Structure 1
């Protein structure tokens, strides 16, 4: 692969990450449907693991229910081949302002995410763990 084509792929992935972040902030359900491949894996160590879109929609709706003001702010994007490391800050409001730094390692195939490993400090996101725990109990 020539250097020029490597840069072109990196630019395409950066554009895909910009779209992913934009949709996360504006229409998370479109983000799931349009940015993630049909076969994918999302892992937030110590918090959750997702492998199907229906479950992903439920989780993200729970996140919105916990704090509809939450927003993702990209701080750095490093792309190499089909992978990208995204450094970002999640901020929300609701009853009190909060923020947590996070890092996502995304793998793309045909312009869609097939692997998403996101690391964040969930203790800085008020109510998130409790809301997800309640949701799991409802499923049982």
Structure 2
């Protein structure tokens, strides 16, 4: 693994930790100010930290017990693919995948694939 890949993997691990513990810190410490976050199945696009923070606040209010567990990381250059299982969003665990693109240690692009929080 290259030094860039090692750094990106560590940044992805920090993203997971903060997603589970402190959504505001996750947004501020893991995402670039002008990040793009897209729910690939619905096409919903968030532009920038403020839009992402607003969504995270809505999700935390609706699902305060959510937790993500990583099943596998795949690292190549500036991209980390994260396969995960999320509990607490739906009646059953939700399997999903995120493709995170990093620049200077921050996520600039987050393409997330997964079922909607309803679990349907």
Larger C-alpha radius of gyration, 1 or 2? 1
Contact 2:20–2:67 (Cα < 8 Å) also in 1 = yes
Which has the larger helix fraction? 1
In the alignment, which of 101, 105, 117 is matched to residue 111 of structure 2? 117
TM-score by length of 2: 0.91
Structure 1 unmatched ranges of 5 or more: 1-5, 127-140
Partner of 1:80: 76
Structure 2 unmatched ranges of 5 or more: none
Partner of 2:60: 64
Residue correspondence of structure 1 range 1-140 to structure 2 within 5 A:
6-45=1-40, 46=42, 48-92=44-88, 97-122=91-116, 124-125=118-119
TM-score by length of 1: 0.78
Partner of 1:138: none
Structure 1 residue ranges (4+ consecutive) displaced by more than 3 angstroms after TM superposition: 123-126
Q: Give the count of matched residue pairs.
A: 119
Relative to structure 1, the CA distance from residue 38 to residue 70 in structure 2 (aligned partners, 3 Å threshold; closer, same or farther) is same
Contact 1:99–1:124 (Cα < 8 Å) also in 2 = no
